[in-house]
Chains A and B, each alone.
Chain A
Amino acid sequence: MSKIMVTIQDLHKRFGENEILKGIDLSISQGEKVAIIGPSGSGKSTFLRCINYLEQPTSGTVMIEDKKFAEPNQKANEKHVASLRQEVGMVFQSFNLYPHKTALENVMAALITIRKIPKGQAIKIAETFLQKVGLANRKDHYPSQLSGGQQQRVAIARALAMEPKVMLFDEATSALDPQLVGEVLQVIRELANEGMTMVLVTHEMKFAREVADRIIFMDGGVIVEEGEPDTFFTNPKHPRTKEFLQQVGN
């Protein structure tokens, strides 16, 4: 039995009167790839953002390995949350690269400011990770000079450079032109093959089926059904899952 990397217990998230997440339990093992699918408004992005506490849960616990972000029903300590977040890399739909920094500077900024790595060494690390996403030759380009696919690959390199134990992908290819999706998926695929623990919120059903070890279907703030991809896609059990898969043309 491999090590548990992420543990989520009875997670609730409420925005005012609106309860977005209605009690979610999930554990993710080391090296496991979990794809979360579901209709928009199902709470899947909110759930993903709770995993690194970008959204603070209303109640419930999130643990990375054996470290909790906060005790249940207690206010989170910002410094502790920030330090635990270093273990969790995140890639956003809208890339969120720093527009005033070059690709290289984007990747090395947190190494210097947060990890306190000396500049010369940070440059080397940043170059290694840009190389890994195939953008070593674009290191001095600003985000505005890169295509969407290239920007997202820089964003992936930026997250990886912190050497996280878990990677979260929040609809990483949704903002891309169709011809640029492939290059980003390729990078994610390689990362999956290297054994990175990953949670992906995605609309790319084919990709989810190919890369994930487990598919989670969320609707109405709960996990409706989960399973191993082949069974999940060929033989869904819950009527809501069947309906959804039909709608997305699976």
Chain B
Amino acid sequence: MDFKTAFEQLTPSLLEALGLVVTLALLSFVLALTIGMLVALGRLSKVRSLQVVLIAFLEIVRGTPLLVQLLYVYYVLPEIISYIVGIWVPGYHMNISAFTASIIGLGVNYGCYLSEVFRSSIQAIDKGQLEAAKALGYTSRKAMWHIVIPQSIRIALPPLGNYFNAMLKDTSLCAFITLGEIILKTQAYASQTFLTIESYTIAALIYLIVSIPLGQAIRIMERRLRRHV
């Protein structure tokens, strides 16, 4: 066992990778929140054809592994787009960076799960809230954004926090599409030095030092926001 060497050599690059991972998770989560809210509102709308399309989309995304989706966005999607655009623009070839592909893959995948969180939290708000707002002159849309959604966010917050925490760890799958994040760096170091136990233990600890305080922060925020609901 040589934790000292592994710690000195590996930790700096892992902390750097951690910066990348946190940035990736934040950007992906913003995308996921946007997709999640739009899908939720679409499913709550009364447009039947839109609902059918969205349900099909949800089933596909939730029915396939995140890893497959990442591989698809990174390797397959650029090929398809290049082929289609190539019909009009000969010789066109699309390039996508591992980082962009990671944001899209994580964002779309988590967006689908978050849409269910948003949808159920909106449905959990008493119908009387919408009626009270309407009676005061709000349109349905305004009542939704000003009265219903702010309340539903309070209900959605704990599951949203948990999903963010899960996403932070799922960024490790991006190693498969060559993103230089924590696991890819750990793997490279471990295979060079044979410090297997040390390397992966340090990698695990890096995840823990972020996710444990994050869990605590979510609990405190939850308590504050839910005081009057």
Query: Which A residues form the contact surface with B (CB < 8 A)?
Result: 52, 54, 78-79, 82-83, 85-86, 88-90, 92, 94, 96-100, 109-110, 113-114, 142-145, 155, 158-159, 162
The answer to whether A99 and B142 have CB atoms under 8 Å apart is no
Instruction: Give chain B nearest CB distance to A112 CB in angstroms.
Output: 9
Q: Count of chain B residues with Cβ under 8 Å from any Cβ of A?
A: 22
Whether B228 lies near A142 (C-beta < 8 A) is yes
Are A110 and B137 interface neighbours, CB within 8 A? Answer: yes
- Contact (Cβ within 8 A) A113 B138: yes
Specify which chain A residues have a CB less than 8 angstroms from the CB of B16 in the assembled complex.
Answer: none
- Cβ A113 vs Cβ B142 within 8 A: yes
Determine whether the beta carbon of A78 is less than 8 Å from that of B140: yes
Determine whether the beta carbon of A85 is less than 8 Å from that of B137: yes
Q: Describe B's contact surface by its main secondary structure.
A: helix
Are A100's CB and B137's CB within 8 A? no
Q: Which B residues have a C-beta under 8 Å from some C-beta of A?
A: 126, 128-129, 131-140, 142, 146-147, 150-151, 154, 227-229
Q: How far is the CB of A173 from chain B (nearest CB, A)?
A: 16
Determine the distance from Cα of A109 to Cα of B137 in the docked complex, in whole angstroms.
11
With A113-B146, A159-B136, A162-B136 in contact, do A96 and B229 touch (Cβ < 8 Å)?
A: no
Kindly count the residue-residue contacts between A and B in the assembled complex, taking CB atoms under 8 Å apart: 72
* B147 contacts across to A, CB distance below 8 A: 98, 109
Taking the nearest CB of chain B, how far is it from the CB of A29, in angstroms? 22
Closest chain A residue, CB of each to CB of B127:
A96
Kindly state the separation between the CA atoms of A194 and B168 in the bound complex, as whole angstroms.
61
- Contact yes or no, B228 A143, CB < 8 A: yes
| Nearest 4 pairs of A and B residues by beta carbon | A96-B132, A86-B137, A96-B128, A90-B135
Min CB distance A97 to B, Å, is 8
**B136 in contact with A114 (CB, 8 Å):** yes
How far is B227's CA from A83's CA once the two chains are assembled, in angstroms? 33
Q: Which residues of A contact B142 (CB under 8 A)?
A: 82, 113-114
Contact check, B135 vs A52: say whether CB atoms are below 8 A apart: yes
A102: nearest residue on chain B (CB-CB)?
B228
| A144 engages B140 (CB within 8 Å) | no
* A113-B142, A142-B228, A143-B228 given; A96·B136 CB < 8 A: no
Beyond A78-B140, A92-B131, list 20 extra A-B contacts (CB 8 Å): A54-B135, A78-B139, A82-B134, A82-B139, A86-B136, A86-B137, A88-B135, A89-B136, A92-B135, A96-B131, A96-B132, A98-B132, A98-B151, A99-B229, A100-B151, A109-B147, A110-B137, A114-B136, A114-B138, A158-B136
